[in-house]
């Protein structure tokens, strides 16, 4: 299975800045056989970057999309409009859940819409600090995994990527707030058990599971060696060329 390094640029970079960054990143990266490098720019930058990108080196992801293919939905961008432009789409990121109020039903429809339009959904799941402190992590993760995959058929599960992003560890710079490898391993094992219970162990083992939560070059190696982790979803460090390329180099060393 490939190792995935996904950079989520969130609400950063103008179209011009995104183009310059991508140009530098393409120059810095060789072709990796076993590492899938993905960047997720703002929606407005996706189309021009799709004309610039070398997909042998880097794939593009949308940060969000709407689950209806067309209609009277002012301001939205559909998965069908992203077809041929984005290879992946981040779905259910905690910022979409907790800032924009997306629920499991909406996320379920987005996962299905992505697969329908031949775009790989990166389904994000993760508990808040409050949910963790009350011992609700297992219930939250199971609900988010099962809820997000409700409309996914058994033979389509290999078209899904899951990312565990504990909300309490995202954008954290304090050591006390960083997720430990043991904490990550526990939840990743839970995700895989949930998949196995629903789809069967053989099918579940083919699903890539990523970790995201204040990933940087210093902790990337430890996170990539957690059992069951197949890659990283990177936030702030993906905006800094040297840090993002360092994380990719770490992934290359871990693979070898």
Whether 56 is a known active-site residue: answer no
- CA nearest to 159, candidates 201, 111, 126, 105: 111
- From the list 36, 102, 131, 165, the catalytic residue is 165
d(CA 213, CA 172): 7
Torsion of CA 112, 155, 57, 84, to 10 degrees: -40
Neighbours of 106 (CB within 10 A): 19
| Number of residues that this document lists for the chain | 256
Are the beta carbons of 83 and 118 closer than 8 angstroms?
A: yes
**Active-site residue, from 36, 93, 95, 102:** 93
Q: Does residue 186 carry a catalytic annotation? A: no
Helix or strand holding residue 7 (H, E): strand 3-8
Separation CA 28–CA 209 (nearest Å): 26
Q: Residues 8, 36, 152, 188: is their CA dihedral positive or negative?
A: negative
Residues marked as catalytic: 93, 165
């Amino acid at each position: 299975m490939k190792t995935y390094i996904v950079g989520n640029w969130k609400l950063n970079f103008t179209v011009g800045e995104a183009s310059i960054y991508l140009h530098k990143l393409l120059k810095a990266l060789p072709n990796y056989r076993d590492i899938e490098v993905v960047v997720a720019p703002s929606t407005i930058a996706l189309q021009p970057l799709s004309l610039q990108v070398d997909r042998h080196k880097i794939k593009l992801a949308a940060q969000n999309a709407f689950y209806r293919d067309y209609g009277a939905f002012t301001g939205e961008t559909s998965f069908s409009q992203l077809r041929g432009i984005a290879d992946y789409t981040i779905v259910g990121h905690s910022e979409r859940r907790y800032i924009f109020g997306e629920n499991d039903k909406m996320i379920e429809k987005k996962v299905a819409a992505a697969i329908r339009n031949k775009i790989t959904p990166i389904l994000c799941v993760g508990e808040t600090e409050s949910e963790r402190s009350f011992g609700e992590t297992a219930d939250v993760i199971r609900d988010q995994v099962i809820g997000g995959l409700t409309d996914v058929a058994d033979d389509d599960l290999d078209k899904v990527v899951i990312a565990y992003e504990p909300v309490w560890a995202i954008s954290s710079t304090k050591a006390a707030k960083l997720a430990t490898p043991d904490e990550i391993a526990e939840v990743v094992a839970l995700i895989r058990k949930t998949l196995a219970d629903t789809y069967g162990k053989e099918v579940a083992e083919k699903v890539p599971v990523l970790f995201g939560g204040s990933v940087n070059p210093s902790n990337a190696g430890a996170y990539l060696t957690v059992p069951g982790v197949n890659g990283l979803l990177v936030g702030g460090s993906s905006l800094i060329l040297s840090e993002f390329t360092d994380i990719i180099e770490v992934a290359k060393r871990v693979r070898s």
